[in-house]
């Protein structure tokens, strides 16, 4: 079988050019139809990445264009090289082009889907997407093997292959008429795939300057997030976009970490977050909240961290938080009093109520926080000593300021060792103990 394969379809085989021509049409169709739309959506995620992947942010748009250029190149190169009278161009260079394009498809796509946290796209679930992702890799291995075989000295070849090897490049080249047909078909496929993204209104035909890109706002209300939904992204950062509210069902189900820091939100509609049922971390810091409205989090039974720092919150109302909540940051608000029996969060371990100008903590204020470990209390009128009567003995009261950088206070106690994010310090309770193992 492999002998026949070498003789007819291998790099030196009689039907090598026909095989390459056919395979390249298939590659263009598969890569283009499965991935160009994904790459276009990823391009419009620019500016909405987690700070962890900020380095890659400027690369999202170029990666779309690299992918598109690779597709066009893939459509054109076979008809140029396979019609060549030079055996070197017709065989080796064609195989090298093939391998280079395969590497491009694989690497560009994997990095782009990884940094946008579109994990189900990187590790696709449907057989079609699976083939489209893995095919270039398998193909590269095949091409590499063929090039390697070809590099072997002639005497190593079996006698039967001598005829094939002696076939001149002129005889085996793709007839010019076929090559014209090839390039027309291949470019036609790329054009159809491209037009489909135009119809869908994807990058570069979307409104790049819209305030809530990659989502859409009606005025200042976030009304849909189709691109992140379709990418099934798990992290989304829409910071400083002037957003005031979120319409029901705008968020995708796969969203796990969502930042709306530095917007203009004062209240959230009751079901604003209900569609994001796996939401684990929410940053609402530096908005305009003047009260806590935990009714908004009723459907978010996975919520582990909530950052509400630097808002305008002055009172704690009676509130039941999801039992999953581990870290609540109320730093930099105007909560002057902590009344008894109102803050009810059965799983809460880390509470930031520093920089509030706190004057009074009632006895029993922490009674409904049975798992509380650390309270940050600096920058208040009361200090830890004067609040100690209300604090259970097992709770560590912190007066040192835990400095949060671009990653915010949410890494503390999130269950992951957040080394390099500035929280592995005594003042930050050693990342909430996340690095102990």
Binding site for Ca ion (CB under 5 A): 411, 414, 416, 418, 431, 434
Cα 184–Cα 188–Cα 189 angle in degrees, nearest 5? 125
CA distances from 206 to 49, 56, 80, 201, 371 (A): 18, 21, 34, 5, 48
Cα–Cα distance for residue pair 330/312, rounded to 1 Å: 10
Instruction: Output 98 or 434, the one with its CB closest to Ca ion.
Output: 434
Minimum distance from residue 378 beta carbon to Ca ion (Å):
21
Minimum distance from residue 410 beta carbon to Ca ion (Å):
8
Q: What are phi and psi of 436, to 5 degrees?
A: -75, 130
Minimum distance from residue 315 beta carbon to Ca ion (Å):
30
Instruction: Output 338 or 409, the one with its CB closest to Ca ion.
Output: 409
Peptide bond preceding 363 in cis form (omega within 30 of 0): no
Strand order in the sheet with 374-376: 235-237, 257-259, 281-283, 305-307, 327-329, 350-352, 374-376, 396-398
Q: Going by DSSP bridges, is the β-strand pair 216-218/221-224 parallel, antiparallel, or unpaired?
A: antiparallel
Instruction: Output 135 or 350, the one with its CB closest to Ca ion.
Output: 350
The tokens of 376 are what? 């940050």
Instruction: Output 216 or 434, the one with its CB closest to Ca ion.
Output: 434
Cα–Cα distance for residue pair 427/100, rounded to 1 Å: 50
Instruction: Output 195 or 396, the one with its CB closest to Ca ion.
Output: 396
Minimum distance from residue 416 beta carbon to Ca ion (Å):
5
Minimum distance from residue 28 beta carbon to Ca ion (Å):
44
Instruction: Output 53 or 350, the one with its CB closest to Ca ion.
Output: 350
Cα 31–Cα 37–Cα 40 angle in degrees, nearest 5? 115
Minimum distance from residue 253 beta carbon to Ca ion (Å):
25
């Amino acid at each position: 079988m492999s002998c026949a394969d070498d003789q007819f379809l291998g790099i030196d085989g009689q039907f090598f050019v026909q095989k390459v021509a056919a395979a390249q049409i298939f590659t263009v169709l598969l890569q283009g139809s499965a991935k160009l739309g994904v790459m276009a959506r990823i391009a419009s995620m620019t500016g909405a990445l987690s700070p962890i992947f900020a380095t890659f942010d400027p690369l999202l748009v170029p990666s779309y264009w690299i992918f598109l250029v690779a597709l066009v190149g893939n459509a054109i190169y076979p008809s140029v090289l396979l019609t060549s009278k030079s055996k070197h161009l017709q065989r080796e260079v064609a195989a090298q082009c093939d391998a280079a394009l395969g590497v491009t498809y694989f690497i560009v796509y994997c990095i782009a889907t990884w940094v946008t946290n579109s994990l189900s796209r990187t590790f696709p679930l449907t057989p079609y997407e699976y083939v489209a992702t893995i095919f270039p890799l398998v193909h590269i291995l095949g091409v590499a093997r063929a090039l390697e075989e070809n590099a072997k000295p002639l005497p190593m070849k079996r006698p039967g292959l001598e005829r094939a090897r002696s076939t001149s490049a002129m005889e085996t080249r793709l007839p010019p008429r076929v090559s014209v047909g090839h390039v027309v078909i291949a470019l036609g496929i790329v054009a159809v795939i491209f037009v489909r993204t135009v119809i869908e209104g994807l990058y570069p035909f979307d409104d790049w300057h819209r305030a809530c890109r990659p989502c859409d706002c009606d005025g200042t209300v976030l009304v849909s997030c189709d691109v992140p939904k379709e990418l099934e992204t798990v992290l989304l950062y829409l910071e400083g976009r002037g957003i005031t509210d979120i319409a029901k069902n705008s968020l995708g189900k796969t969203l796990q970490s969502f930042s709306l820091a530095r917007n203009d939100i004062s209240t959230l509609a009751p079901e604003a977050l209900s569609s994001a049922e796996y939401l684990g971390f929410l940053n609402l810091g530096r908005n305009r909240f003047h009260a806590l409205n935990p009714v908004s989090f009723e459907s978010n039974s996975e919520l582990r961290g909530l950052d509400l720092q630097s808002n305008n919150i002055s009172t704690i109302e009676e509130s039941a938080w999801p039992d999953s909540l581990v870290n609540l940051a109320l730093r930099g608000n105007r909560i002057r009093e902590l009344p008894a029996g109102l803050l009810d969060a059965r799983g809460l371990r880390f509470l930031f109520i520093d920089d509030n100008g706190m004057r009074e903590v009632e006895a029993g204020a922490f009674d409904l926080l049975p798992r509380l470990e650390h309270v940050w209390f600096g920058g208040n009128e009361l200090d830890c000593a004067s609040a100690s009567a209300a604090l259970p003995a097992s709770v560590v009261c912190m007066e040192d300021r835990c400095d949060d950088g671009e990653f915010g206070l949410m890494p503390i106690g999130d269950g992951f060792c957040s080394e390099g994010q500035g929280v592995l310090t005594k003042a930050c309770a050693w990342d909430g103990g996340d690095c102990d193992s």
